[in-house]
Amino acid sequence: MFLQQLINGITLGCVYALIALGYTMVYGILQLINFAHGEIYMLGAYLGVIGLALLQAIHFAPSSPLVLVLTLALFAALIAALWGITIERLAYRPLRGAGRLAPLIAALGISIVLQNFVMHSQGAREKIFPALWAGSGYIFGNTRVSAVQLLIIITSAVMMVGLTLLVQKTRIGTAMRATAQDRVMAQLCGIDANMIIAITFAIGSALAGIAGVLIAAYYGMINFYIGYQAGLKAFAAAVLGGIGTIPGAMLGGLLLGLVEAFGAGYLSSQYKDVYAFLILILFLIFRPGGLLGEQLAEKV
Protein backbone atom coordinates (compact mmCIF):
# COMPACT_ATOMS: atom_id res chain seq x y z
CA MET A 1 0.00 0.00 0.00
CA PHE A 2 2.86 2.37 0.80
CA LEU A 3 4.39 2.07 -2.68
CA GLN A 4 0.98 2.45 -4.34
CA GLN A 5 0.27 5.66 -2.42
CA LEU A 6 3.79 6.84 -3.20
CA ILE A 7 3.17 6.41 -6.94
CA ASN A 8 -0.24 8.07 -6.67
CA GLY A 9 1.24 10.95 -4.70
CA ILE A 10 4.08 11.53 -7.14
CA THR A 11 1.60 11.51 -10.03
CA LEU A 12 -0.62 14.10 -8.39
CA GLY A 13 2.39 16.06 -7.19
CA CYS A 14 3.78 16.32 -10.72
CA VAL A 15 0.52 17.86 -11.92
CA TYR A 16 0.43 20.30 -8.99
CA ALA A 17 4.05 21.20 -9.65
CA LEU A 18 3.38 22.01 -13.32
CA ILE A 19 0.56 24.36 -12.30
CA ALA A 20 2.50 25.81 -9.36
CA LEU A 21 5.35 26.79 -11.70
CA GLY A 22 3.01 29.25 -13.41
CA TYR A 23 2.07 30.82 -10.08
CA THR A 24 5.63 31.13 -8.90
CA MET A 25 7.04 32.47 -12.18
CA VAL A 26 4.44 35.23 -12.39
CA TYR A 27 4.84 36.07 -8.71
CA GLY A 28 8.60 36.11 -9.03
CA ILE A 29 8.54 38.58 -11.88
CA LEU A 30 5.50 40.74 -11.01
CA GLN A 31 4.77 39.95 -7.34
CA LEU A 32 1.27 39.12 -8.58
CA ILE A 33 -0.78 36.13 -7.47
CA ASN A 34 -2.50 35.14 -10.67
CA PHE A 35 -5.61 33.42 -9.37
CA ALA A 36 -6.83 32.96 -12.94
CA HIS A 37 -4.00 30.48 -13.53
CA GLY A 38 -6.08 27.53 -12.33
CA GLU A 39 -8.61 28.28 -15.05
CA ILE A 40 -5.86 28.07 -17.66
CA TYR A 41 -5.27 24.54 -16.42
CA MET A 42 -9.01 23.88 -16.80
CA LEU A 43 -8.90 25.32 -20.32
CA GLY A 44 -6.02 22.96 -21.11
CA ALA A 45 -8.14 19.98 -20.10
CA TYR A 46 -11.00 21.15 -22.31
CA LEU A 47 -8.59 21.85 -25.17
CA GLY A 48 -7.49 18.23 -24.90
CA VAL A 49 -11.08 17.03 -25.31
CA ILE A 50 -11.77 19.49 -28.13
CA GLY A 51 -8.51 18.65 -29.90
CA LEU A 52 -9.30 14.95 -29.72
CA ALA A 53 -12.77 15.52 -31.19
CA LEU A 54 -11.28 17.59 -34.02
CA LEU A 55 -8.65 14.96 -34.85
CA GLN A 56 -11.29 12.23 -34.86
CA ALA A 57 -13.61 14.34 -37.03
CA ILE A 58 -10.97 14.75 -39.74
CA HIS A 59 -9.78 11.14 -39.30
CA PHE A 60 -6.29 12.31 -38.39
CA ALA A 61 -6.00 10.98 -34.84
CA PRO A 62 -2.72 9.09 -34.31
CA SER A 63 -3.23 5.39 -33.59
CA SER A 64 -0.61 5.43 -30.82
CA PRO A 65 -2.12 6.67 -27.50
CA LEU A 66 1.25 8.15 -26.53
CA VAL A 67 1.56 10.17 -29.73
CA LEU A 68 -2.08 11.20 -29.47
CA VAL A 69 -1.79 12.54 -25.91
CA LEU A 70 1.47 14.33 -26.67
CA THR A 71 -0.13 15.90 -29.75
CA LEU A 72 -3.07 17.07 -27.65
CA ALA A 73 -0.70 18.37 -24.98
CA LEU A 74 1.21 20.38 -27.59
CA PHE A 75 -2.05 21.76 -28.98
CA ALA A 76 -3.28 22.71 -25.50
CA ALA A 77 0.08 24.26 -24.59
CA LEU A 78 0.04 26.53 -27.66
CA ILE A 79 -3.54 27.72 -27.13
CA ALA A 80 -3.04 28.11 -23.38
CA ALA A 81 0.09 30.18 -24.00
CA LEU A 82 -1.94 32.50 -26.23
CA TRP A 83 -4.55 32.79 -23.49
CA GLY A 84 -1.85 33.65 -20.97
CA ILE A 85 -0.37 36.34 -23.20
CA THR A 86 -3.81 37.80 -23.90
CA ILE A 87 -4.76 37.93 -20.22
CA GLU A 88 -1.49 39.59 -19.31
CA ARG A 89 -1.81 42.16 -22.09
CA LEU A 90 -5.47 43.06 -21.58
CA ALA A 91 -5.98 42.65 -17.83
CA TYR A 92 -2.71 42.91 -15.94
CA ARG A 93 -0.48 45.23 -17.94
CA PRO A 94 -2.85 48.22 -17.69
CA LEU A 95 -2.92 47.74 -13.91
CA ARG A 96 0.82 47.84 -13.31
CA GLY A 97 1.58 50.52 -10.80
CA ALA A 98 -1.97 50.43 -9.47
CA GLY A 99 -0.94 48.68 -6.25
CA ARG A 100 -1.41 45.02 -5.41
CA LEU A 101 -5.14 44.98 -4.73
CA ALA A 102 -6.35 45.94 -8.21
CA PRO A 103 -4.48 43.15 -10.08
CA LEU A 104 -5.60 40.67 -7.43
CA ILE A 105 -9.25 41.61 -7.95
CA ALA A 106 -8.70 41.49 -11.71
CA ALA A 107 -7.29 37.97 -11.39
CA LEU A 108 -10.33 36.81 -9.45
CA GLY A 109 -12.60 38.43 -12.03
CA ILE A 110 -10.80 36.72 -14.92
CA SER A 111 -11.09 33.41 -13.10
CA ILE A 112 -14.87 33.80 -12.86
CA VAL A 113 -15.13 34.97 -16.48
CA LEU A 114 -13.19 31.95 -17.75
CA GLN A 115 -15.26 29.53 -15.69
CA ASN A 116 -18.49 30.97 -17.06
CA PHE A 117 -17.11 31.14 -20.58
CA VAL A 118 -16.35 27.42 -20.55
CA MET A 119 -19.60 26.53 -18.79
CA HIS A 120 -21.71 28.34 -21.41
CA SER A 121 -19.65 27.33 -24.45
CA GLN A 122 -19.08 23.68 -23.49
CA GLY A 123 -22.03 23.02 -21.21
CA ALA A 124 -22.22 22.44 -17.47
CA ARG A 125 -22.11 18.66 -17.77
CA GLU A 126 -18.87 16.77 -17.32
CA LYS A 127 -16.85 15.89 -20.40
CA ILE A 128 -15.43 12.44 -20.96
CA PHE A 129 -11.86 11.84 -22.03
CA PRO A 130 -11.59 8.28 -23.43
CA ALA A 131 -9.45 5.71 -21.63
CA LEU A 132 -6.62 5.33 -24.13
CA TRP A 133 -4.61 2.86 -22.05
CA ALA A 134 -7.42 0.86 -20.47
CA GLY A 135 -5.93 -1.83 -18.23
CA SER A 136 -2.33 -1.25 -19.34
CA GLY A 137 0.51 -0.69 -16.92
CA TYR A 138 3.08 -2.46 -14.80
CA ILE A 139 2.51 -4.48 -11.65
CA PHE A 140 5.16 -4.95 -8.96
CA GLY A 141 3.79 -7.08 -6.16
CA ASN A 142 0.79 -5.16 -4.82
CA THR A 143 1.75 -1.97 -6.63
CA ARG A 144 0.39 -1.00 -10.01
CA VAL A 145 1.79 1.80 -12.14
CA SER A 146 -0.52 2.68 -15.01
CA ALA A 147 0.69 3.90 -18.37
CA VAL A 148 -0.95 7.28 -17.77
CA GLN A 149 0.88 7.67 -14.46
CA LEU A 150 4.18 6.93 -16.15
CA LEU A 151 3.37 9.43 -18.87
CA ILE A 152 2.51 12.13 -16.32
CA ILE A 153 5.67 11.54 -14.28
CA ILE A 154 8.02 11.42 -17.27
CA THR A 155 6.41 14.35 -19.10
CA SER A 156 6.41 16.49 -15.96
CA ALA A 157 10.06 15.66 -15.25
CA VAL A 158 11.04 16.61 -18.81
CA MET A 159 9.09 19.87 -18.56
CA MET A 160 10.68 20.78 -15.23
CA VAL A 161 14.21 20.00 -16.39
CA GLY A 162 13.57 21.93 -19.61
CA LEU A 163 12.28 24.94 -17.70
CA THR A 164 15.25 24.88 -15.35
CA LEU A 165 17.68 24.80 -18.29
CA LEU A 166 15.75 27.57 -20.01
CA VAL A 167 15.93 29.82 -16.96
CA GLN A 168 19.53 29.03 -16.05
CA LYS A 169 21.27 28.52 -19.40
CA THR A 170 19.61 30.76 -22.01
CA ARG A 171 19.50 34.49 -22.76
CA ILE A 172 15.75 34.52 -22.24
CA GLY A 173 16.23 32.93 -18.83
CA THR A 174 18.88 35.49 -17.94
CA ALA A 175 16.50 38.27 -18.98
CA MET A 176 13.74 36.71 -16.90
CA ARG A 177 15.96 36.57 -13.83
CA ALA A 178 17.14 40.14 -14.38
CA THR A 179 13.56 41.38 -14.75
CA ALA A 180 12.53 39.51 -11.62
CA GLN A 181 15.34 41.08 -9.60
CA ASP A 182 14.97 44.66 -10.82
CA ARG A 183 12.64 45.47 -13.70
CA VAL A 184 13.73 49.11 -14.05
CA MET A 185 17.41 48.26 -14.13
CA ALA A 186 16.74 45.44 -16.59
CA GLN A 187 15.02 47.91 -18.92
CA LEU A 188 17.94 50.31 -18.60
CA CYS A 189 20.20 47.44 -19.67
CA GLY A 190 18.17 46.99 -22.86
CA ILE A 191 15.85 44.19 -21.81
CA ASP A 192 12.30 44.47 -23.12
CA ALA A 193 10.56 43.83 -19.81
CA ASN A 194 7.09 43.72 -21.36
CA MET A 195 8.13 40.97 -23.74
CA ILE A 196 9.85 39.00 -20.97
CA ILE A 197 6.74 39.24 -18.80
CA ALA A 198 4.59 38.08 -21.73
CA ILE A 199 6.97 35.15 -22.30
CA THR A 200 6.72 34.28 -18.61
CA PHE A 201 2.93 34.18 -18.81
CA ALA A 202 3.14 32.12 -22.00
CA ILE A 203 5.47 29.51 -20.45
CA GLY A 204 3.47 29.24 -17.24
CA SER A 205 0.20 28.93 -19.15
CA ALA A 206 1.65 26.34 -21.51
CA LEU A 207 2.71 24.19 -18.55
CA ALA A 208 -0.76 24.51 -17.05
CA GLY A 209 -2.31 23.54 -20.40
CA ILE A 210 -0.15 20.42 -20.56
CA ALA A 211 -1.11 19.58 -16.98
CA GLY A 212 -4.78 19.89 -17.96
CA VAL A 213 -4.46 17.38 -20.79
CA LEU A 214 -2.53 14.96 -18.59
CA ILE A 215 -5.08 15.10 -15.78
CA ALA A 216 -7.92 14.63 -18.29
CA ALA A 217 -6.20 11.48 -19.54
CA TYR A 218 -5.63 10.36 -15.93
CA TYR A 219 -9.14 10.83 -14.52
CA GLY A 220 -11.05 10.53 -17.80
CA MET A 221 -13.55 13.18 -16.77
CA ILE A 222 -13.41 16.97 -16.51
CA ASN A 223 -15.71 19.87 -15.73
CA PHE A 224 -15.50 23.64 -15.76
CA TYR A 225 -14.84 23.74 -12.01
CA ILE A 226 -11.64 21.67 -11.84
CA GLY A 227 -9.43 24.73 -12.23
CA TYR A 228 -10.64 26.32 -9.00
CA GLN A 229 -9.65 23.50 -6.68
CA ALA A 230 -6.49 22.51 -8.54
CA GLY A 231 -5.48 26.15 -8.74
CA LEU A 232 -5.83 26.61 -4.99
CA LYS A 233 -3.79 23.47 -4.33
CA ALA A 234 -1.11 24.52 -6.79
CA PHE A 235 -0.96 27.92 -5.14
CA ALA A 236 -0.60 26.16 -1.80
CA ALA A 237 2.22 24.09 -3.33
CA ALA A 238 3.98 27.23 -4.52
CA VAL A 239 3.72 28.73 -1.03
CA LEU A 240 4.95 25.50 0.60
CA GLY A 241 8.03 25.46 -1.59
CA GLY A 242 8.61 29.19 -1.31
CA ILE A 243 6.66 31.24 -3.83
CA GLY A 244 8.88 32.95 -6.36
CA THR A 245 11.37 30.08 -6.60
CA ILE A 246 11.14 27.47 -9.35
CA PRO A 247 12.69 24.58 -7.36
CA GLY A 248 10.35 25.47 -4.51
CA ALA A 249 7.29 25.13 -6.74
CA MET A 250 8.47 21.70 -7.90
CA LEU A 251 9.20 20.55 -4.36
CA GLY A 252 5.99 22.00 -2.98
CA GLY A 253 3.91 20.31 -5.68
CA LEU A 254 5.43 16.91 -4.99
CA LEU A 255 5.06 17.36 -1.23
CA LEU A 256 1.43 18.34 -1.56
CA GLY A 257 0.67 15.39 -3.82
CA LEU A 258 2.29 12.98 -1.39
CA VAL A 259 0.47 14.44 1.60
CA GLU A 260 -2.84 14.15 -0.22
CA ALA A 261 -2.21 10.59 -1.40
CA PHE A 262 -0.97 9.26 1.94
CA GLY A 263 -3.70 11.10 3.83
CA ALA A 264 -6.35 9.59 1.55
CA GLY A 265 -4.76 6.13 1.75
CA TYR A 266 -4.07 5.89 5.48
CA LEU A 267 -6.62 8.24 7.04
CA SER A 268 -9.68 9.07 4.96
CA SER A 269 -10.18 9.92 1.30
CA GLN A 270 -13.15 12.11 2.25
CA TYR A 271 -10.78 14.67 3.74
CA LYS A 272 -8.04 14.51 1.11
CA ASP A 273 -8.54 18.18 0.26
CA VAL A 274 -8.26 19.11 3.92
CA TYR A 275 -4.76 17.68 4.31
CA ALA A 276 -3.33 19.96 1.64
CA PHE A 277 -4.65 23.12 3.22
CA LEU A 278 -3.89 21.96 6.75
CA ILE A 279 -0.22 21.61 5.90
CA LEU A 280 -0.37 25.00 4.19
CA ILE A 281 -1.69 26.58 7.38
CA LEU A 282 1.07 24.93 9.41
CA PHE A 283 3.72 26.23 7.04
CA LEU A 284 2.27 29.74 7.08
CA ILE A 285 2.46 29.69 10.89
CA PHE A 286 5.87 28.12 11.39
CA ARG A 287 7.71 28.77 8.12
CA PRO A 288 5.91 31.46 6.09
CA GLY A 289 8.76 31.72 3.59
CA GLY A 290 8.26 28.12 2.51
CA LEU A 291 10.81 25.34 2.26
CA LEU A 292 13.18 27.13 -0.12
CA GLY A 293 11.89 30.69 0.00
CA GLU A 294 14.48 31.98 2.43
CA GLN A 295 17.45 30.01 1.21
CA LEU A 296 17.26 31.02 -2.45
CA ALA A 297 17.82 34.66 -3.24
CA GLU A 298 17.43 34.18 -6.99
CA LYS A 299 13.85 34.39 -8.20
CA VAL A 300 11.95 34.05 -11.44
CA 55 to chain centroid? 25
What's the confidence (pLDDT) of residue 294?
60
Continuous segment of H or E residues that includes residue 130? none
Tens of pLDDT, residue by residue, the chain (300 residues): 789 999 999 999 999 999 999 999 999 888 889 999 999 999 999 999 999 999 999 988 888 999 999 999 999 999 999 999 999 999 999 998 888 889 999 999 999 999 999 999 999 999 999 888 777 788 888 888 999 999 999 999 999 999 999 999 999 999 999 999 999 999 999 999 999 999 999 999 999 999 999 999 999 999 999 999 899 999 999 998 888 888 999 999 999 999 999 998 898 888 888 888 888 888 888 888 888 876 544 445
What's the confidence (pLDDT) of residue 296?
47
Among 84, 117, 91, CA closest to 106: 91
Q: At what angle do helices 65-87 and 193-219 cross, to 10 degrees?
A: 140
Continuous segment of H or E residues that includes residue 140? strand 137-140
- Dihedral of alpha carbons 10, 289, 94, 182, sign: negative
